[in-house]
Structure 1
């Protein structure tokens, strides 16, 4: 939907630029600028800027109406700028103001619902210069604008390739998951508390029990490293004999078995492997006898 056009007047700079288009490059109308200054413009020809600028955007189309000697500039009003109240509108060639208009009454931009195309007209006195403006071809055609912009009312429903859009936004697989407690869903906080943090409580309890056992071993066992070696899974008598070949290890072994508590612990923790290795080791049995008779 298009709104009623607003008329602009060429500035002196715009007139000069337009008169030179035959020798230089064509006049390229590139930007629309809106301002909200309420003070009337003293001299339109001498204006060089839009006062109190509130919005600037590229023009979506520049066309020529030869029957009326008009240049028609169009742009699509974004949703965020609809109903903006302004008093000045200017058209720029890049950073140079070439046409400007003023209204003592506030102009409301884009009042209609849905996509809104706003237009301004620039009156050109000499029709010879219209061809120079008509040659501007670097701006987007307004008829194709609907394919370039998303409709805010659709809430992103009109995105064609949603999977690619998620990748462009850096969103992973979690972006499409529903909240659930199975392996394919996102876990809620309460589910995490139940499934994992409760399990951690059990681990903390086990850790506390291990700590108490360690303290118990420290009270009754002088050489924990010896006890750890004896309780090693798969210990054979030959391995034990080789280990006891060291005098220091045999002394530690003898001290260890001086405590009845140690023998009970070995029997409770490992009733077969360790006891069989000890029974088949002559050095181990001699050390045990020495510890009991000491």
Structure 2
């Protein structure tokens, strides 16, 4: 059911909206009008160009977007105390050109002419707030509204000046700032000057040097600081422990003996020496430097050694070479870097990706773990088998007595020269050794003479290898006429085996 009292945009107002949107100009609302409807309740009519019966017009006090609905504007209209004697039943908003932009109905509001002001809140829904800007032209004749409690004063500083108020007028009692002059307080032991807060503090500041000192009470302590409450602590009194702490050096006229509870020294270094304290005594727990010896920590899984920080790191430095390694946690990673935290990455573990990265090659001393975990037995070659089958390399000894090894078949060919002297008969011959023994067996030997004649008469040499083994053999030389040789014979041979 539609509300009995409402506001609408007139047909003239809609035309203005369309023109403003097309031209990029703005609609300026300046005045408002009220009427009594000629004594009757009024229903808003978009075709209206004027109220039924206007009784008063004035300047719009303010216009703002509704905090509850971005497409709705709220206009504040004030009927001043010196007008009245009528009943408000209709309201309208006028542009700066006097065009009736919007019209609305109102419950009957009596406005007497007896010094009482009436505030009207006019709500208006517009079609497209992002393309139309409504501006209010407020004149100098507007007055302060009681319902705003002086919140509508345009120049608050000028208003305070007119009232004769100083800068202290804008300060709150819980944050008073006196920048000059003096404050004279009538106080005594029975009526002391009281500084009261959660952590009361008094600041002493010397204007010519800027030096400041701060006396502050914090819990059971009262202390004096230099420069700020977090600056150098000059002294601290702890009422709970009854300990008075002084920063800096305490100069004594004479040393208090150790038997009387002193240190027997007038200087800090002398006191440490008398007490048998080492150099670790002067270090702070947040910056410990151990330059020799060793540190043994009694830790366990439930009480581990903790390195804590935004990016905790552990540095290993070798003193004789200067080599450094850094073990650090960075985000979800833990890694080991060489030389610096941005140096060569030795390894890195990512918590998010569950990946372990290594810089360089991995050379396991035992492959059994890889073989048993990642390949089924019988369906793969071991490293040695793979090398033996698919990564074989032929080799040879290239000399006058040498050998050639075929890695894929295991066959070996050897060669050399054996000299058979004249004294050797056809049956005894000469024994010789191969350049290298055949691992398994010698299969064949072929021998040929290196000379053309075996005697003065030029008989032909007959060469035989009556026996051989995997490590060598025996060669005999005779002539084709069964005569003994008269010239030493060099014999070349080729042996084949595996």
TM over 0.5: no
The TM-score range, normalised by the shorter chain, is 0.3 to 0.5
Question: Structure 2-normalised TM-score?
Answer: 0.25
Larger Rg over CA atoms:
2
Q: Could you say which structure has the higher strand fraction?
A: 2
TM-score, with normalisation over the residues of structure 1? 0.40
